[in-house]
Every structure is written in C-alpha cells, then in structure tokens.
Amino acid sequence: MTKTERIVMLLEWYVDVEAQGMRDGRSSDGEHLPLMSRAWNHPSYRELDRLLDLMRREQRHLYWHLSQTYLYSTKRRVLECPRCRSVVPSWYSGGYFHKHGNSNVAIVPKVVSVIHKDVRSNHVGRAIAWLEEQWIGEPFLPDELLAA
C-alpha cells in the first residue's frame, strides 16, 4: 500500500475513529474520565489531526474540498450489485436481484457518501498531495484498521 493510499484510508476512517472512539474511564477519585480509543491515539492519527489543523489555517481552499469529501459529507444507504457495482435506485421495484445475462445477483445494502456538489476531485487530490508532502515520517494504519 502506498503512502497516499494509507493517508486516504486514514481520512476515510477519520470521522468514525474520532466519534466512535470514545470509551469511558474512571479517574483515581471515581470521576468520569473520557478516553479516546487506541486508534485515535495512534501516531498517524495524531499527525493527520495536526496536518488538518495546519491545512485549515494555511490552505483553506484545499481544506474545504478535502473536509467536504471526508469529514463533513452525509451518508445514505443504497442497494448495490456486488458484481458490476451499479447502484439500484431506491424506487426500484424489481426485487432484490440484479440481472446479468441469465443469472441473478443479489443486491446488497451499502452506505455511500453524499459529497457537496461544488467539491472538485482535482482539489481533493491536491489536498491529499499536500498532506503527503507535509507528513513527518511515514503514515501507518492502526491495528484496528488493518482488517478494514
């Protein structure tokens, strides 16, 4: 996996790792102590978080395109054919199969991102290249993401 691919994977999981990574702890005097997950505390996520903050301050235009793609896009559930990857419209009434010649393939639910209409993929690519240039060391995936 290339450096760029690892950065993209970190970005794709960023919101989940940040939001779902909370776990409960207790301090020595019994008070509630929120703790972040091991994935969130991984050096690659710490570096990504640092660079996103830097990009937000220094490269606002690139940050907007990147954040609308990975951080602030909404999600929706669709039905997809696993063979040809075509998305079946929600109003489709042809059952739960997609025809491929004489065979039927079961369509499966999938969650997709709905990205703002003004986002330009070339700007997202430039933002990822900026992250790669600014990255100190090598990005590595936390063990929790390796299975993904």
Of the pLDDT bands very low, low, confident and very high (cuts 50, 70, 90), residue 93 is low
30: left (phi over 0), alpha (psi -120 to 50) or beta: left
Cα 17–11–147 angle (5° rounding)? 60
Percent residues over pLDDT 90 in the chain: 45
pLDDT at 29: 62
Structural contact between residues 108 and 62, judged by C-beta atoms closer than 8 angstroms = no
Residue type, position 47, single letter: E
pLDDT at 6: 94
Helix axes 121-134, 43-58, angle to 10 degrees: 120
Looking at the predicted structure, is the pLDDT value of residue 106 above 90?
A: no
pLDDT at 18: 82
pLDDT at 36: 67
Highest mean pLDDT range out of 19-33, 59-73, 78-92, 107-121?
A: 59-73
CA distance 79 to 141: 29
**pTM of the complete model beyond 0.85:** no
Of residues 99 and 126, the one with the higher pLDDT is 126
CA distance 26 to 24: 7
Across the range 87-98, mean pLDDT stands at 73
Contacts of 103 (CB under 8 A, 6+ apart): none
